[in-house]
Amino acid sequence: MYRVVLVDDENIIVEGLRRVVKWAEFGCQVVGTAGDAQEGAELIRRLRPHILFTDIRMPGVDGLTMLAGLHSEFPNMQVTVLTGYRDFAYAQEAIRLGVSRFLLKPSKMEEINEALKAMTARLKTLPQEEGEEPGQYTGSFIVNQAMAYIEAHYADKLTLQTVADCCYVSQWHLSKLLNRHTGKSFYDILNSVRIQRAKELLQDPRLKIGEVGELVGYADTAHFARIFKKLEGKSANEYRNAMK
């Protein structure tokens, strides 16, 4: 039996799908439902479904990033989007990110059945336990989202888990993608962004070295000093003096 997960913030949609669709006729079984994207992502990692029906316009959700994250981490999982969002360019991008079907709400039963038929047919051609590598486009999409988040939040107490959550992937998977696409670890990237910003702030003579470190995310001045010298080959103070 193919395992199915349903994700939608409208419970009436989830229950309607679960009860009305004749899952067994397609060799499928609904093994879990979720009411939001994060809960859905956690459920998917735990249950590893073959098929996902999901909305992408839920509160606080970047739908395309969610789709990219799920497809990147679970490339064999077949995804059908059910949404009230009528935007052709958005649908095209969703399909580029690995979506099997993009159905508008309210979806007709024959559309859902056709999607199930197509997804189960596709699954029969794929190895179910050996995960294939995600496409270059999907991986790049996730890395770009992660980099943008780091650039916007470098001054926060940022962790790999925090960034992974915003990209809807596990921290292990994000670490692998970052290394593959940039050749660097998460903390190498974070330190690089922070030190680049620190170099800009050091041009302001009113700021003390420790203050600059704090502004870019280092609570410990000694740690900031070590990272700065490691990346720049000189101390923050030497860098500042050379700029005069």
pLDDT score for 63: 83
- Whose tokens are 């009305």? That residue is 20
Domain match, 170 and 231 both:
yes
| pLDDT: which is higher, 87 or 165 | 165
Q: How far apart are CA 157 and CA 143, in angstroms?
A: 20
Answer yes or no: is 235 within a domain: yes
The confidence band for 198, taking pLDDT boundaries of 50, 70 and 90, is very high
Confidence (pTM): 0.80
* Total number of domains in the chain: 2
Residue 130 domain flag: no
Question: In a 10 Å sphere around its CB, with 0-12 CB exposed, 13-18 middle and 19+ buried, how is residue 243 labelled?
Answer: exposed
Domain limits for position 143: 136-243
pLDDT digits (tens, 9 = 90+) for 96-153: 888 999 998 888 999 999 999 999 999 999 875 545 565 688 899 999 999 999 999 9
Q: In this structure, what token pair is assigned to residue 51?
A: 């098929």
The reply to whether 212 falls in a domain is: yes
237 in the same domain as 165: yes
In the chain, the N- to C-terminal Cα span, in Å, equals 70
Q: Do 20 and 117 belong to one domain?
A: yes
Cα–Cα distance, 97 to 42 (Å, whole number): 20
Contact 51, 3 (CB under 8 A): yes
Pair (143, 228) in one structural domain: yes
DSSP state of 35: S
- Decide which of 123, 151, 180 is a domain's last residue: 123
User: Using one digit for the tens of pLDDT, what is the confidence trace for 1-15?
Assistant: 999 999 999 999 999
DSSP state of 24: G
Scanning the chain, the segments in alpha helix (DSSP H) are 11-20, 37-47, 63-73, 88-96, 109-123, 136-153, 160-166, 171-182, 186-201, 209-215, 221-232, 236-243
Q: Does residue 42 contact residue 91 with C-beta atoms inside 8 Å?
A: no
